[in-house]
Amino acid sequence: MVEPSYVQGPSHPPLLERTIGAALRDTATRFPGNLAIASRFENRRLTFAEFDAAVDAAARALLALGASHGDRLAIWSPNRTEWLVIHHAAVRIGLIVVTVNPAFRADEMAFVVADSQARFLFAAPAFRSYSYADAIASRRGRLEDLEHVVIFAPDAAPWMAWPDFLAMNGGVDADRLAAAEAGVDVHDACNIQYTSGTTGKPKGALLTHYNLLNNGHFVGERQRLTEADVICLPVPFFHCFGIGLGALAAVTHASALVLPSESFDPVASLEAIAAEGCTAFYGVPMMYMALLDHPAFTEHDLSSLRTGCMGGAPCPMETMRRAVERMHMDEVTVVYGMTETSPISFQTLPDDSNEVRVSTVGSIHPHLECRIVDPASGETVPRGTSGELCIRGYSVMRGYWRNEEATRQAIDADGYMHSGDLGVMRDDANVQIVGRIKDTIIRGGENVYPREVEEFLLTLPGVSEAYVFGLPDDKYGEIVACWMKPSPGAGLDAEAVRAACHGRMATYKIPALIRVVDQFPTTASGKAQRFRMQEMELAGELPPGGVPQ
């Protein structure tokens, strides 16, 4: 008898019943002299005791500025020490942090700040050549709820400068801070993470201390993190990958966090791993490829590495093999999740095979349930059958901020979060992600799942990355299109790729258009954007090195 596509994670170890603020304070008490943050590009190092004290000072300054429990505080900045300090300060006294993508421009920032009704906005002065300070000034009139703007700089006129903000902390004593901290419950909301908004306006997923802290903790548990570990973290804090899997996993395990650069730079990451003796590295597969393929790779000693997280996209077998062998990451783990589940629900185990790491997203996390359902009927499908992956448990968001209708559509009456991802549960209960429901290409009445085609293409010699999407067609309704990038030193010929597909996959799945490119449009966290590739094709925009074949 075929088993249903349902799995429940272990119930041990138990869930943490503490706030994020209490978790940091506990770690600072137990490991006061241990390194908490090493920001190499800022030349700053903080022990856990120093980090906790900096958080207290910022929390007192917030109270002096009039902050109250439940207020929203937005952060618009690339990775830097102040990002972590103000985040922990805000959640310590019950504020809700709104994370703003550092790649956003003025209108996108203004939407998030206005929609979240943020009273406070903390921002870097600029990112690359784009001035955040000027962008805020240009949209200030739209932000009716915004009362205070603080810039991470010594001089920020007309806005408040970070040192001036911190100087306000002397007006609030320890008793007032303790009272504010005592008023925070583990189930209070602490974060609003806005989804990408590839269709319509972004929606803000409302997450709690319980959601985020426990998820970060269990991600760290699967990596076997301890106070001896050092995490190289080039992924952005605004995303759950950075703040949850990275920063909060570090706090709950007393592990050190190394910031190599304000945004991903392969050389800075290589230098950080070698200089700091990092034992873990976090990134999307493209980041691993960037390190492995860089001419300076062999100049750096990476032998301290042991584990880490890889997620956001499927990893080619060759990349995984090289990461394990050449980066010494025998225990690297693959993660899968979504913002609305805080984010991780599946993760491979440290001793899983490379086959499991590249063909699945691993097994269910503790204290979570997964069922895979027929999108049409809602019935649980048998194992080995594709359906929508649904998650229930502690990690599911409270809901979308100020959007009850969207919340009802996403979370069903039984409490399951519907991911929109198509998955297949294997007999061993590991799950394969085969595509997105909305990304399904319908070619002449046949369903084509981009992920399935991509996974095959990545097995072909010379293919480093491949992304599949649909394009409108008068005859078939849609055709299969693909952008692919060659491995270093390799050449790719579209006809040879198609010939390799024939006889090994159904003809209707073989890409009609193949474009070989030098790079892909990506999010700030490095995740390739298929929808943007589709838009560029429809608009006739050529990517770097792109030639249709």
Architecture of the domain whose range is 20-35+43-185: 3-Layer(aba) Sandwich (3.40)
Q: Check residue 451 and give its pLDDT.
A: 82
- Could you give the CA distance from residue 315 to residue 47 in angstroms, rounded to a whole number? 35
Domain map (residue ranges) of the chain: 20-35+43-185, 441-548
Q: Residue ranges of the alpha helices (H) in 284-421? A: 285-292, 317-326, 354-359, 404-410
> In the chain, how long is the greatest CA-to-CA distance?
74
Backbone torsions φ then ψ of 141, nearest 5 degrees: -65, -25
Q: Check residue 430 and give its pLDDT.
A: 98
Structure tokens at 429: 């209960």
Other beta carbons within 10 Å of 141: 8
- Could you give the CA distance from residue 179 to residue 134 in angstroms, rounded to a whole number? 37
Q: What share of the chain is helix, strand, coil (3-state, %, to 5)?
A: 35, 25, 40
CB-CB contact of 453 with 509 (8 Å): yes
CB-CB contact of 454 with 422 (8 Å): no
- For tokens 């090289």, name the residue: 322
In this prediction the pTM is 0.87
Low-confidence ranges of the chain (pLDDT < 50): 197-199
Identify the H or E element spanning 166: helix 162-166
- Any idea what DSSP says for residue 242? I
Q: Check residue 196 and give its pLDDT.
A: 60
Residues in CB range of 499: below 8 A, 6 or more apart: none
CATH class of the region 441-548: alpha beta
Q: Do domains 20-35+43-185 and 441-548 have the same CATH topology?
A: no
- Could you give the CA distance from residue 260 to residue 242 in angstroms, rounded to a whole number? 13
Q: Check residue 198 and give its pLDDT.
A: 37
Q: Check residue 547 and give its pLDDT.
A: 55
| pLDDT tens sequence across 440-461 | 888 877 778 888 889 889 989 9
